Structure 1
Amino acid sequence: MERVSIVKLLTCLILCMAFTACFIIPTSYAITDKNKPDQPAYAVSGIESFDEAEINQQTDGKIDSEPYTIIHDEILSIDIGTGFGEIGYLKEEEHLALRGPGSFHLTEDGRIIILDSQNHRILIFKDGACAGAISLPNNAYASKMAVIGDLCYVLSYYDSKIYEIPLKYGSEGRVTAADYKSYELPNGLQPYSIQMFLNSSGRLLFVDLDDVAYYLGSDGAFKVGQTFMEKQNVEVEIPEDTKELAWDELDFKTNIRIKNTEWTVKLNQSVDECSAIGVDAKNNLFIEYYDFVDDVYTFMFERTLRIIDPKSNTISYALIEDKGIYTYPDREFFVTESGDVYYMACYNDKVSIQKIIFADSYTSHKNELREAALENDVKTSDLTSTSTRGNTFVDLCSITPR
């Protein structure tokens, strides 16, 4: 029987708390251009790939590594605030709530689109600078975004609607209230029950917590389509004549099927989890892998990105560091058709867009994480002495390995 996904449960909890937190900042913005306030912002086109050379021109090679652990190529750094070109942060102590930007997208012509959730707007960056901002309709609070051509779709938590926002500029005119379209969620679904929200072959697709896929039809109605993605842990088979077998000798696997392709991902241990973040044009699967620290009470894991080829071989790795992270967006990673991966890291004092550097191996820090977890176990032992210690949960942003 399939295990209940830890990631899915955490996602549901995070979205519920994000919904509660979304009523705090009522700021609203109109479309603006930083040099010509009376002119509309730049438009955006393209959905999957982009001009990599143009993006790389934004990088000067000088990365401020403190107080962060930036181990990838930073292509854009954005200040925190409510001004033009700044990203809003929710300065509250609700560590599981969405406290920063919700999502981001890179276009084929080199623009970076960021859903500035706390400031209720979409920001468009070009050549390392903010080119414009588009306010969300009805002061909507959204954490999920999908870009399809020159249209942007966001999921609003205020009114359980999906808004379609044209990304146009210049001679195309300003975006007005008449340009927005809205779609009601079908079957009484609530925003916090939606786990995936993306562009699928030029159509808007979202998937609920029951793994039911909905596609937006040309008539403006959502239709239930074929299952977009399935994930199932492979049952471990032990030969009957085996008298004794060490736990770490067992072969744990997870099958991930996206549309008509299936990959088998080998797990280091039974408690580990992985989730798909994208597929490139060569049918390589990109996953986020959670390598849990075992034999401790504190909830802690090491994160890596991994590339799985069509034959289910793991061919590349990239370590994701959490040092200096203030909050986590709903969408952290963006995979292009050419196989490049971009990461939105929300640090304490800036938002950083980075191009992931993959290698054929990586240096694990699980031993350091284990030491930090054991130290925290000792600190919390008195507080949990009258309860079930196995339920101890610690904010991952607040613990940094020594």
Structure 2
Amino acid sequence: MGNTASSANRLILAVALRSLSDNLRRTLLTVGAIATGLASLIFLWGFNDGLHHNMLQNFQESIIGSLQIHRQGFFENPKLSLHLRHPDQVTQTLNRLGANTWSPRLESFALAASDTTTEGVMLIGMDPVHEPRVTKLKERIGEGRFLQPGDTFVCILGATTARNLKIGLGDSLVLLGYDRFGALVAEEFRLIGIITSGEMGLDRGMALTSLSALQEMLDFPGGVTDLVVRVPEERLNSLKADLLLTLADQDLEVMAWSDMFPVMQEWITLHNGFLYLFLGVVLFIVLAGELNTLLLSMLERTREFGIFMAIGTQPRQLTLMILSEALAIGLLGIFCGILLGIAIVLLTQHTGIDLSLLLGSTTRFYVDPLIYPNLNLQHLGITTLANPAHLPAGGHLPRAASQPAATRRGAAPCLTQPGSPPASICS
């Protein structure tokens, strides 16, 4: 009995595969639809991951870095009294944890004055050697040059600030501020560079100078208010946790970029939400397309189903045959879709996608015109498993298609004459 059922099932599967080959055009159209939909989703995920990586990289390399270390409360209320007490110990801890890409800074509010007008700025002292390893401010210089070792009392301004002060390269300006004792100090600086990033935060309200010059101006030798660290995104959370544990007794705040600017993280989350919504819509279309193909297939094969029922094939065997066809089409479509999607992502990952015609000059700060899609295995798995094509849905359809034949004919007896081939598919 078991051998008979097994033989019947094998014959049903053989009939299902023969049906797919006999209707090759319909099979290829369905496989193509599934493969195209899945490949599009894989490419969309890859493009989305590449876009996010590009945005985060530019955002972190602009000026904030991946992670910053300050005294508790400095980020909300930056003042010299909240300087780092032992910056050398913090840098030693960073080096011990393998985070060697860091840069010390000294920050203070100041008033920039030219011959004609004044403007308030955040005055930041940077190390000319360490800073280029952490950020790419050097590449944002539209005119002039970046800070160099040995520079004394030179500064860099944003394009908007320089325009408001009505000064150009080589001109002098006076920066007024308060030293660590609260006394008013002023120094004359020479403008050596102008930042043209297209982003308001850099182009206006900021002045950069060398760390040693600002320490001298503020009478604060060795003074550091924050350390900016650059690490790969996948290591950011673990490094933050290790630093919080190691530096727990020093009254410090360790802030990742998402802690300092949560709006960027929220934007990425919102963008991913829209992508999941789009994923659901496309998967619904793929499922509807496959179910439509199955339904049309059964409408065309009503006579075939009737013959099967007449020779004693049971409804569950017809169900197995239809589900086998659907499963074969779905798996083949998914396999082709994965190969096609990965091929497109790898190709565009090598060549890049040029969006320069779609991006304005102000958006290049966050998004480079050339986007390189990334192949994320987690997103690839989500897209593949979420695809309903591998689930032989609609198992009730063959039963519904065969029911009228069974109703009209009654229970068809199984053919049991010796040598009768159809008897092998009876159970």
Task: Establish whether TM, by shorter chain, passes 0.5.
Answer: no
Bigger Rg, structure 1 or 2: 2
**More helix by percentage:** 2
Please report the TM-score for the alignment, with normalisation by the length of structure 1: 0.23
Q: Which has the higher relative contact order, 1 or 2, with Cα contacts under 8 A spaced 6 or more apart?
A: 2
